[in-house]
């Protein structure tokens, strides 16, 4: 039997909710005279894994892939992905794109090299036209 950082589904659900609740700023009066509002902290997979008690994101993903708590861990990961997807609508979304691609690293890439492409070798024959290309302006003579 695998040892998980939590003992029950109820404990896992509470940990997940406390992680996401802790990201949202509380609207409490600030001691600062300017009363600056704190921006919400974005959720991350590593932050979620740490909060749940895993020693690494890989351990989280292994538990998420197979085990007793798969359903709840996948749902929590989906909440993080939903936040990344919201950022895709901003002007600079490269960080969100990277995070989503790395999250789905087990999927087949849309592009890449296949075995057929790497096995094809093209024969290239260089044909000279008789004239040498000048390497500099000084090598050109007008007649």
How many Å apart are CA 26 and CA 12, to the nearest integer?
23
Let me know if residue 44 belongs to a domain.
Answer: yes
36: CB partners within 8 A, 6+ apart: 30
DSSP assignment of 109-120 equals PSS---HHHHH-
Conformation bin of residue 105: beta by default, left when phi > 0, alpha when psi is -120 to 50: alpha
- Which is nearest to 19 in space by CA: 47, 56, 57, 59? 47
The size of the chain, in residues, is 143
How many Å apart are CA 104 and CA 124, to the nearest integer?
39
For residue 1, pLDDT over 50 is answered with no
Lowest mean pLDDT among 17-31, 96-110, 121-135: 96-110
Structural domain count, the chain: 1
56/99: higher pLDDT: 56
Let me know if residue 143 belongs to a domain.
Answer: no
Let me know if residue 132 belongs to a domain.
Answer: no
Lowest mean pLDDT among 19-23, 39-43, 50-54, 57-61: 39-43
Let me know if residue 117 belongs to a domain.
Answer: no
Q: How many degrees, rounded to 5, is the angle at CA 102 between CA 96 and CA 105?
A: 145
110: CB partners within 8 A, 6+ apart: none
Q: What is the pTM of this model?
A: 0.59
Q: List the end-to-end C-alpha distance of the chain, in Å, as a whole number.
A: 89
Range of the structural domain that residue 70 is part of: 9-25+38-104
Let me know if residue 110 belongs to a domain.
Answer: no
Contact 24, 40 (CB under 8 A): yes
Sign of CA dihedral 27, 29, 33, 38: negative
Per-residue pLDDT tens for 28-56? 555 555 666 667 788 999 999 999 999 99
């Amino acid at each position: 039997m695998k040892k998980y950082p939590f003992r029950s589904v109820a404990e896992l659900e509470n940990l997940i909710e406390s992680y996401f609740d802790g990201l949202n700023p509380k609207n409490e009066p600030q001691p600062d005279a300017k009363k600056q509002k704190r921006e919400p902290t974005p959720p991350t997979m590593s932050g979620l894994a740490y909060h749940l008690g895993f020693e690494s994101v890989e351990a989280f993903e292994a538990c998420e892939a197979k085990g007793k708590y798969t359903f709840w861990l996948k749902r929590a990961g989906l909440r993080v992905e939903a936040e990344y997807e919201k950022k895709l609508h901003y002007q600079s979304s490269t960080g969100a794109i990277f995070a989503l691609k790395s999250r789905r690293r087990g999927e087949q890439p849309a592009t890449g090299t296949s075995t057929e492409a790497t096995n094809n070798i093209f024969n290239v024959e260089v044909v000279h036209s008789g004239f040498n290309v000048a390497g500099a302006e000084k090598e050109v003579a007008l007649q």
